[in-house]
Structure 1
């Protein structure tokens, strides 16, 4: 019997068929450095910008200053471009910009933003990163949402070309470290203070997003939140630890209008959330295109031993399993918004392990939009959560503080060369890139 291939050869030739180059057997496989096209997966890094206060407000930790970014911002942004990256998580120093209600100092912000624009870097603009201006006090201040909303609007008006925002970085961690663990800012250690900080931070994020959307109805909000879990190795689980594993969702529940479990809601009510405030949070998802960013460090995941001792588990579940819990809960597009290790030697292996997690998530059809190695340069004192100003260099950056590349920079470049042109979702090209606002009040 004659083969159909004989007929095809006679009519179309021997391979390399005309038209097949448009995505067939000879179509593009996704390798090559990122192009910056809207459908590209977002490979990113970030510049560490935390600025909480310690010593009961007497000492401000400003990592942009401590890592010398204010003086070397052009060099640092040049390193982003040199890496082949198109996307940067970048935090403007909120505490330095909003000097008083209605009064702003844009001097440094204008320089940095102009340089990013010149280099063709897309910023995911981080507007509050663990601290507030001195005149606002701390996260117990009920005026925070109003003043922060004014700041967000001022930023959106000043930089109308910016579309991506993280209004409030790691809401849960901010509230926990400041009001329950007693380490930053108000340095309180009570459930009531924690709930107060939590509701003020979520409200600030919602009001800030609304102000941004006034000027960019097509804004993309990348909410960066810590992916946490504690394994309790006891035959009978305790209420406290199980509550911790439920409370990790509290910030996103309030932000995304998702009803928490009954015992979490009772806890919130018992510690100062009013029914009127709760109904306000449940009114709907904030405007803009919402992306759920999950930050994952090995130290986020803990094991509680039978004797009560807590040890770091270093990815027993990993980013994939923990983030999958968040995705199943909120059904929003996902981004891996932060990761690193505090040791230089393990960093490259950790990078590849995180990428394996992302590939696994994508294989299941979950829309993972991007990945971030955080941060571009080494950090200081994060091994002690910025609690004490010692000056310990944490070798977790793509570059050290002399701006010399670490081995993980080469590993990231290799990853970019191999996967840099994959689409956000398979065949992401079919989705129109639009400037139209998001219109759904709720996800259906």
Structure 2
């Protein structure tokens, strides 16, 4: 008797493919295509609204990019553009300098309106609490009371908006300290190593203490520490001690934040410039509470080439986000997010975005837990070509939308990425992970 094979039997009983249950994915999941969905296991595609507010000209001029780029007047329209793109996640900075008016005194008028709209639109904010500046009454980053004052502010924000889970307490600590106290561009405008170390330790301490206040009120908080991914290439047969130290100092803010002992040369540099042994031991006691994500900001201008004549050239993507971030990941072994990128030239922005996304995919394929990607920012910026040092009102065409809120070509490129990859999970098979209402178990240094 002619026996039929198993495939024929299956076909007769169940049909030729498209079996009942296929639509549910199971352990294999799905291909991840389609616009992002609001799920805790999904990769976080994001944009941000540029919100820097340093002072220049020795404190006489406050650069507030939320004002200069029109967000205070068009905030509802801007938040609508986030949803128009198909995004659910937004890096969003409240203006710390104007909200925290004195110890115990806050002006929530703008923040309440904007946050209510973010909540109404079901946007997940990564709330940025300090972005390159402090309130006038605090002064600058040399003030040793900054960590205490900022902790009060962070706690007040978490108390007022208990539905917020994601935070960046202090944005780009290394850049904040370098431009404020080493290069003399912003705020205290110092050009000293001691000023740099002082600003950096105060900002890290502020981040830690603010993080503690947030965790007291939201014990499942997710802290996305946005920090610049830097590197200087020196074209000398015998590299100079200055550049060798600079390439070590780029890790310093995260070393102190994540209790990672820096190299001996960096430790001696800090001690020579005001860090006490007691302060060092305090930083090394342990990581802050909550779920920590290491956000790496990468612009081509983060990489520099120093020529034999001493001149510095912007190198634009020699190593790129992948290679530089790999250095950071291997140092800290923490989940990674690409938290900022852009270029100032609108015509090459789509290609730049795709290059960054290709780097993210490669990093994920190599087993590094990359959990999100951000094009920064939603709308064009002003005067970042001079690092905000000069009031030129020069538009930087780096936004997904221009200042008239019209889409730039990069917006379409981002939509293409979202449609193809918008539903990939943070890690493969992440849909198997349980979502629980139980309190998070936190590691808190004592």
**TM superposition score normalised by structure 1:** 0.97
Matching residue of 2:141: 139
Is 2:413 the partner of 1:414? no
Q: Distance in 2 between matches of 1:441 and 1:403?
A: 44
Distance (Å, rounded) in 2 between the aligned partners of 1:26 and 1:226: 35
Compute the displacement of 1:437 (Å): 2.1
* Aligned 8 A contact 2:296 2:325 in 1: yes
Cα separation, 1, equivalents of 2:387 and 2:85: 28
Per the alignment, residue 126 of structure 1 pairs with 128
Q: Distance in 1 between matches of 2:423 and 2:434?
A: 18
Equivalence for 1:201:
203
Residue of structure 2 in register with 1:429 after alignment: 431
Give the aligned partner of residue 440 of structure 1: 443
Alignment of 1:253-292 (within 5 A): 253-292=255-294
3-state SS of 1:237 partner? coil
> Could you list the runs of 4 or more consecutive aligned residues of structure 1 that deviate by over 6 angstroms after TM superposition?
none
Would you say 1:70 and 2:72 are equivalent positions?
A: yes
Query: Quick check: 1:20–1:27 contact (8 Å CA) kept in 2?
Result: no
In structure 2, the residue corresponding to 1:125 is in which secondary structure? strand
Aligned partner of residue 194 in structure 2, secondary structure? helix
Distance 1:418 1:22 in 2: 19
Distance across 1 between alignment mates of 2:435 and 2:242:
46
Matched position secondary structure for 1:16: coil
CA deviation vs aligned residue, 1:283-322 (integer Å, no higher than 9, x gap)? 1000010000000000001111122211111111110110
What 5-or-longer segments of structure 2 have no aligned partner?
Answer: none
How far residue 6 of structure 1 moved from its aligned partner, in angstroms, is: 3.7
Post-superposition offset of 1:105: 0.3
- In the alignment, the residues of structure 2 paired with residue 305 and residue 2 of structure 1 have an alpha-carbon distance, to the nearest angstrom, of 75
**Structure 2 CA distance, aligned partners of 1:94 and 1:139?**
14
Q: Distance in 2 between matches of 1:76 and 1:145?
A: 32
Q: Distance between the aligned counterparts of 1:200 and 1:288, measured in 2?
A: 21
Structure 1 unpaired stretches of 5+: none
The CA distance in 1 between the partners of 2:245 and 2:73, in whole Å, is 44
State how far apart, in whole Å, the 1-side matches of 2:277 and 2:93 are.
Answer: 34
Q: Distance in 2 between matches of 1:433 and 1:52?
A: 40
Equivalent positions of 1:213-224 (< 5 A) are 213-224=215-226
Residue of structure 2 in register with 1:316 after alignment: 318
User: Paired residue for 2:93, among 91, 94, 109?
Assistant: 91
Deviation, structure 1 residue 39: 1.1
CA contact under 8 A between 1:83 and 1:413: conserved in structure 2? yes
Contact residue 35 and residue 419 of structure 2 kept, 8 A: yes
How far is 1:25 from its partner? 11
Deviation readout 1:215-254 (Å, 9 max, x if unpaired):
0000000000000001111111111101111100000000
Deviations, residues 178-205 of structure 1 (Å, cap 9, x unaligned): 0000000000000000000000000000
Mapping of residues 288-303 of structure 1, within 5 Å: 288-303=290-305
Q: Is the 8 A contact 1:287 1:438 kept in 2?
A: no
C-alpha displacement of 1:28: 2.2
d(CA) in 2 for partners of 1:393 and 1:357? 28
Give the alignment of 1:359-370 within 5 angstroms. 359-370=361-372
Matches within 5 A, 1:174-185: 174-185=176-187
Number of equivalenced pairs: 442
Q: Equivalent residue for 1:80?
A: 82
1:108 corresponds to: 110
Give, in whole Å, the separation in 1 of the partners of 2:407 and 2:18.
42
Return the offset for 1:37. Answer: 1.1
Q: Is the 8 A contact 1:213 1:287 kept in 2?
A: yes
Contact 1:16 1:26 (C-alpha < 8 Å) held by counterparts: no
Summarize the Cα distance change of 1:268–1:438 in structure 2 as closer, same or farther, 3 Å threshold: farther
Please give the alpha-carbon distance, in whole angstroms, between the structure 2 residues aligned to 1:283 and 1:116: 36
Deviation, structure 1 residue 144: 0.1
2:58 is matched with which residue? 56
1:361-388 deviation line (CA, Å, top 9, x unaligned) = 0001111111000000000000000001
Instruction: Measure the CA separation in 2 of the matches of 1:187 and 1:348.
Output: 36
Q: 2-side partners of 1:402 and 1:23: how far apart?
A: 43
Taking a change above 3 Å as real, the CA distance of residues 2 and 308 of structure 1, as seen in their structure-2 partners, is: farther
Q: Shift of residue 15 of structure 1?
A: 1.9
2: CA distance, partners of 1:418 / 1:136: 47
Name 2:394's counterpart in structure 1: 392
The question of whether the paired residues in 2 share the 8 Å contact of 1:291 and 1:335 is answered with yes
Question: SS of the counterpart of 1:345?
Answer: coil
- Counterpart Cα distance in 2 of 1:255 and 1:220: 15
1:439 is displaced (CA, Å) by 2.4
Going from structure 1 to structure 2, the CA distance change for 1:307 and 1:432 (only over 3 Å counts) comes to same
What is the match of residue 232 of structure 2? 230
Preserved CA contact (<8 Å) 2:178 2:196? yes
CA-to-aligned-CA distance 1:54-83 (integer Å, 9 cap, x gap):
000000000000001001000100111111
Q: Distance in 2 between matches of 1:3 and 1:305?
A: 72
Contact 2:349 2:410 in 1 (8 A): yes
Counterpart pick for 1:252 among 251, 254, 277: 254
Equivalent in the alignment of 1:239: 241
